[in-house]
Amino acid sequence: MTNTLCVSEKYPPEYIKKAHAATFANEREILVSDSCKCFYCGYSFNPKTEEPLHWIEEIYPRKRTLQCPLCGIDCVIGSASPFPIHEPEFIRICTETWFGGISRISDGLPVPAP
C-alpha cells in the first residue's frame, strides 16, 4: 500500500479530515438522513428503517455516535452531511486514509449481507 492511494485532487486531505469529523457525534445529522454509508465495510442503509441502531454515548453536550449496523465500526456518514457519501472515489479516499488501506472496501470485499 502506498501513499499515492490517499492522494486525490478532487478530495484534498483537509476535506477528508472534515469528513472524518462527520463520523463522530453525528446523531443529529444521521437522524435527518435518508441514507447512510459505512466507510469501513461499505454498507448503505436508511437510518429511519434500519434497526436496531447502536449508538455510542459521547461526553455531554456532544450527540451520540452511530455504529455501523453490520460491522460495528463507528465510521458512518449520513446523506444530510455535506459529503458525497455514495461517490466511489470519495469512499475510496476516505477508507484508505482512515484505515490505512485495511478495510473491507480496500480489500475489495463485497458488502456483507445483513
Where along the sequence are the contacts to Zn ion (CB under 5 A)?
A: 38, 40-41, 43, 68, 70-71
Shortest approach of Zn ion to residue 53 CB, angstroms?
A: 13
Helix axes 88-99, 13-21, angle to 10 degrees: 80
Alpha carbons within 13 angstroms on the beta-carbon side of residue 41 total 16
Instruction: Specify the residue, 59 or 109, whose C-beta has the smaller distance to Zn ion.
Output: 109
| Omega prior to 112 cis, within 30 of 0 | no
Shortest approach of Zn ion to residue 4 CB, angstroms?
A: 25
Question: What residues contact 112, with CB distance under 8 A and at least 6 apart?
Answer: 41, 43, 70, 71, 104
Instruction: Specify the residue, 59 or 113, whose C-beta has the smaller distance to Zn ion.
Output: 113
Instruction: Specify the residue, 7 or 109, whose C-beta has the smaller distance to Zn ion.
Output: 109
Shortest approach of Zn ion to residue 2 CB, angstroms?
A: 25
Instruction: Specify the residue, 38 or 77, whose C-beta has the smaller distance to Zn ion.
Output: 38
Shortest approach of Zn ion to residue 36 CB, angstroms?
A: 10
Residue given cell 477528508 in the structure block: 16
Residue 49 in grid coordinates: 428503517
